Amino acid sequence: MKKVLFVCLGNICRSPVAEGIFWHQVRNSFLDQSFSADSAGTAGYHIGERPHTTSTSVAHSYGVKLEHRSRQFSREDFNKFDVIICMDHSNLANVLREAVTPEEKSKVYLMCQWENGITPSDVKLAGEVPDPYYGGIDGFHHVHNLLETCNKNLISWLTSSKP
Ligand code: 4NP
């Protein structure tokens, strides 16, 4: 069982959608016995809240259900998860700042390292999942589509390698 944690800032727009799509894709591939997923925010602004209503309705329009309630990332997550995948470079820097050991640091990735293929690209050159929070509905659709692409490659990588 490989355990994956998705991380953004508020844990109401991007990472709960990343988690929902991950579950959706592993269930559709009959891989749900092999994986588990969760999400968290580096900030505690929205602890206990359901995902953003626009994230939820856009996800529903693609057949993806969001079941999460917001929680904050904590150091314990380094023990609980095999892979920690951040949505943008700021989230990545904040999570890496909490990492103490080389093993903890080695678990941390950026989602867009899987934007263009199965093998993770150079983290420094990877793009970001943009924060849709302050924009219109198009941004939420863009985020959803980007997360579908990245998750598809991520799941292939997790299936074929040993992170
Ligand atoms: P998320 O988006 O990090 O994708 O969940 C945000 C949600 C809330 C805030 C910022 C980003 N906020 O400032 O409250």
Domain chopping of the chain, boundaries: 2-160
Instruction: Indicate if 8 belongs to the active site.
Output: yes
pTM: 0.98
Ligand 1 centroid, distance to 140 Cα (angstroms): 12
Ligand 1 centroid, distance to 13 Cα (angstroms): 6
In angstroms, the CA 140 to CA 24 distance is 18
All residue ranges of the chain with pLDDT < 50 are none
For ligand 1, mutation pick of 11, 12, 46 (most atoms within 8 Å of CB): 12
Protein residue closest via CA to atom 8 of ligand 1? 10
**36 strand-pairing partners:** 3
Tokens of 136: 């219109």
Catalytic residue, chosen from 14, 77, 88, 112, is: 14
From the number of C-beta atoms within 10 Å of its C-beta (0-12, 13-18, 19+), residue 118 rates as middle
Instruction: Indicate if 150 belongs to the active site.
Output: no
pLDDT confidence of residue 163: 63
pLDDT confidence of residue 162: 63
CATH topology of domain 2-160: Rossmann fold (3.40.50)
Smallest Cα–Cα separation from 36: which of 9, 79, 2, 74? 2
Matching residue, tokens 């693609």: 62
The answer to whether the beta carbons of residues 21 and 154 sit under 8 Å apart is: no
pLDDT confidence of residue 152: 98
In angstroms, the CA 14 to CA 31 distance is 23
Catalytic residue, chosen from 38, 77, 88, 131, is: 131
Q: Return the H-helix or E-strand segment holding 110.
A: strand 108-110
Q: Return the H-helix or E-strand segment holding 39.
A: strand 35-41
Determine the residue type at 136: G
| Ligand 1, pocket residues at CB < 6 Å | 8-14, 41, 45, 131, 133
